[in-house]
Amino acid sequence: MIIAFDAASTDLSVALLDGDGTLIAEEAWSSGHRQSAELLPRLLAAVESSNRTLADATAIAVGLGPGSFTGLRVAVALGKGLALGLGLPIVGVPSLVAWLASDAEATAAVARAGARDAYVATRDDPTVAIVDRDALTALRGVVTPAELAAAFGLADSRPPRAAGSIARMAADRLAAEGAGDDPGTLEPIYLRAPRGLATEGAGSVRWL
C-alpha cells in the first residue's frame, strides 16, 4: 500500500493505493492555513476507515510543490518521518505535474507564488514558470486552489485532487527504478526564497 499526500496549497489531499494499482481511498479538502494540524489526522483516518494500518504501507509518496512554503514543509517532513519510522522508501513528485495528471481535461495547473504571482505549468510544457496574475486571465480549464481561483478571478477552474495521481506516479517510478529518493536530501521544490530573503543566497535558509 502506497501512502500519498499533497499539501502544496490550501486544497490538500491524501490517498492510499494498493499494490495492484487499485485506489483504496482518496480524500481532498480545503484547509485554509491549517495544513500542519489537519494532514496527519486525515491521513490516519483514511488508513483506519480502509481497515488498514501503517504496517501495511510499502512506500510513502509526497507532492513536492512548488506552492505553499508551510504546506510543503509540513508534507515533506511528515513524509520523511513516516518513511524513516516505518523503514519505507519515499518518492517525491512535482505537485503541479500531479495536478495535471489528476484531471485529464485540465490545460494548466496554477499555484500561488505571491500576492500577485502564480506558479504555472501547462499540459504542453510542464516546466514551472512564475507569472503575474494578469497573464492568467486567458487560461481555461485550470486546476488551481479554490482560494486562488477566487482571488485571481479564474472562472474556469477546479481544485486539485492530486494524491491519487502522486501515488500512481510513485508506483510507476518504484517499479521502473526499484528505489525512491534519498530522505536525507529530498527537499520541496522552492522556486523562491522565503519571505524576508531577496534571494536564496541572501542568508541561511532552513528549508525543513
Q: What is the mean pLDDT of each run of 10 residues along the chain (208 residues)?
A: 96 95 95 80 97 97 95 95 97 97 95 94 92 90 94 92 97 95 94 58 46
Same domain, 88 and 169: yes
Distance, C-alpha 139 to centroid of its chain: 21
Whether residue 133 sits in one domain with residue 65: no
**Domain-ending residue, one of 140, 158, 176:** 158
- Burial label for 81, CB within 10 Å (0-12, 13-18, 19+), is middle
Asked if the structure places residue 208 within a domain, the reply is no
Q: Residue 205: its pLDDT value, please?
A: 45
Shared-domain flag, residues 108 and 144 = yes
Range of the domain at 108: 104-158
Residues 153 and 166 in one domain: no
Is the dihedral angle over the CA atoms 51, 57, 58, 59 positive or is it negative?
Answer: positive
Check which CATH number belongs to the domain holding 66 and give it. 3.30.420.40
What one-letter code names the amino acid at 58? T
| 114 and 178 part of one domain | no
How is residue 133 annotated by DSSP? G
Q: How many structural domains compose the chain?
A: 2
> Do 49 and 118 share a domain, yes or no?
no
Q: How far is CA 168 from CA 64, 116, 133, 136, in A?
A: 15, 33, 31, 29
Residue 146 CB burial class (10 angstroms; 0-12, 13-18, ≥19): middle
Query: Quick check: is 22 in a domain?
Result: yes
70 and 29 housed in the same domain: yes
Tell me the C-alpha distance between 169 and 176, whole Å.
Answer: 11
Q: What's the whole-model pTM score?
A: 0.91
Taking the C-alpha atoms of residue 68 and residue 84, their distance in angstroms, rounded to an integer, is 24
Determine the pLDDT at residue 194.
56
Is 92 in the same domain as 183?
Answer: yes
Q: Is residue 207 part of a domain?
A: no
Verify that 165 and 152 share a domain, yes or no.
no
Statement to judge: residues 88 and 148 lie in one domain: no
What does the pLDDT read at residue 198?
53
Q: Same domain for 47 and 139?
A: no
Residues 6+ apart with CB under 8 A from 7: 31, 35, 39, 63, 68, 71, 72, 74, 75
Beta strands (DSSP E) in 7-114 are 11-17, 23-30, 59-63, 90-93, 108-112
Q: Are residues 118 and 41 in the same domain?
A: no
The answer to whether position 50 is within a domain reads yes
Q: Characterize the bridge pairing of strands 11-17 and 23-30.
A: antiparallel
